[in-house]
Amino acid sequence: MFPLQRNRRLRTNESIRSLVRETSLSPQDFMLPMFVAEGKDVKVAIPSMPGIYRHSLDNTIKEVKEAWDLGIKAVNIYVKVSDNLKDNKGVEAWNKDGLMQQTIRAIKDAVPEMIVMPDVALDPYSIYGHDGIIENGLLVNDATVDALTRMSLSHAEAGADFVAPSDMMDGRVLAIRKALEENGHHNVGIMSYSAKYASAFYGPFRDALDSAPVDSQNIPKDKKTYQMDYANRIEGIREALLDVEEGADIVMVKPGMAYLDIVREVKNAVHVPVAVYQVSGEYAMVKAAAERGWLDHDKIMIEQLYCIKRAGASIISTYFAKEAAVILNK
């Protein structure tokens, strides 16, 4: 009761505020998403994501070393696949000498302690831009799971620490876990994109990988038959719980800022680490507003990352990782 309790006593100065602060943030909380392209000495700017590039493998290694030196301990890898390697079944996805597999090996050779989590989904390899195999105008679940399992095994054989299925097919975590166990990859983990919503915030990402669904009358024009309805909350919790039962070591909520209620609900429901993906559209919005002088870029960036961590994230996958690490390290 006032005046016996005056809450402002704990806000008097920065020393006391930092002493009682409930949430901490450090570069070790971050995972850096990276886009890899074919070629040498390639650095292609992504216009809708200022400051983010598609790098060839040699430049990717430089970026990984820089991230490690900043205190970032994990990278999430995506590859830009040449059109001539795309088909409906994603066969290139499990090519042992494919770009993703080369990238995993190169990163582990260059920075062995960096945690490498390659993306597992067929959209970069699909002529249709979908996360799975299309048959008779529909995305089929079980055949896609078989392809994702082969893809995951190839990532494990290349040296991945975790595989990261982002496709939202039913049963894929169990199938991948069984395949990893049967092939001796007992220590390769699974970070499952468990509550991944069909969001408009992904737009710039699809520019980065040229992986948007193609506009055709014969196939779905969006990903709403497998990614989740953003009006739903309980469904996201159920998806996360099922993935844990099937063997996921980490579950992810995606997108981030607009879905912090889901982050907290999932955090309260599961007993594994929760990852959150602050996606391309969320990144681009901050960049665009800051460029116009409407927001203080660094303050908004750090505030948003703190909010994601406060909501329950153990890992934050963010394009801000390097910029934020520089500030936090100071």
**96 within some domain:** yes
Say if residues 289 and 282 touch (Cβ distance below 8 Å): no
Q: Which residue, 3, 111, 120, 126, is CA-closest to 63? A: 111
**142 within some domain:** yes
Say if residues 150 and 94 touch (Cβ distance below 8 Å): yes
Model confidence at 209, pLDDT cuts 50, 70, 90, reads: low
pLDDT 10s digits, 255-301: 999 999 999 999 999 999 999 999 999 999 999 999 999 999 999 99
Residue 66's domain spans which residues? 24-251
Secondary structure in 3-state letters for the chain: CCCCCCHHHHHCCHHHHHHHCCCCCCHHHEEEEEEECCCCCCEEECCCCCCCEEECHHHHHHHHHHHHHCCCCEEEEEECCCHHHCECCCHHHHCCCCHHHHHHHHHHHHCCCCEEEEEECCHHHECCCCCCEEECCEEEHHHHHHHHHHHHHHHHHHCCCEEEECCCCCCHHHHHHHHHHHCCCCCCEEEEEEEEECCHHHHHHHHHHCCCCCCCCCCCCCCCCCCECCCCCHHHHHHHHHHHHHCCCEEEEECCHHHHHHHHHHHHHCCCCEEEEECHHHHHHHHHHHHCCCCCHHHHHHHHHHHHHHHCCCEEEECCHHHHHHHHHC
**290 within some domain:** no
pLDDT 10s digits, 76-119: 999 999 999 999 999 999 999 999 999 999 999 999 999 999 99
**17 within some domain:** no
**16 within some domain:** no
**285 within some domain:** no
pTM of the model: 0.95
What does DSSP say about strands 274-278 and 133-135: parallel, antiparallel, or unpaired?
unpaired
The pLDDT value recorded for residue 211 is 63
Burial group, residue 35, by CB count within 10 angstroms (0-12, 13-18, 19+): buried
What is the spatial distance between Cα 181 and Cα 143, in angstroms, rounded to a whole number?
20
Q: What is the CATH number of the domain that holds 141?
A: 3.20.20.70
Model confidence at 213, pLDDT cuts 50, 70, 90, reads: confident
**269 within some domain:** no
Q: Is the pLDDT of residue 208 over 80?
A: no
Q: Which residues are catalytic?
A: 196, 254
The pLDDT value recorded for residue 205 is 79
Q: Is the pLDDT of residue 212 over 90?
A: no
The pLDDT value recorded for residue 204 is 84
**147 within some domain:** yes
Q: Is the bond into 255 cis (omega within 30 degrees of 0)?
A: yes
> pLDDT higher for 221 or 192?
192
Domain count, the chain: 1
Find out whether 157 is annotated in a ligand binding site.
Answer: no
Mean pLDDT of all residues belonging to the chain: 95
Q: Which residue, 170, 179, 205, 168, is CA-closest to 76? A: 205
The pLDDT value recorded for residue 210 is 67
The pLDDT value recorded for residue 219 is 81
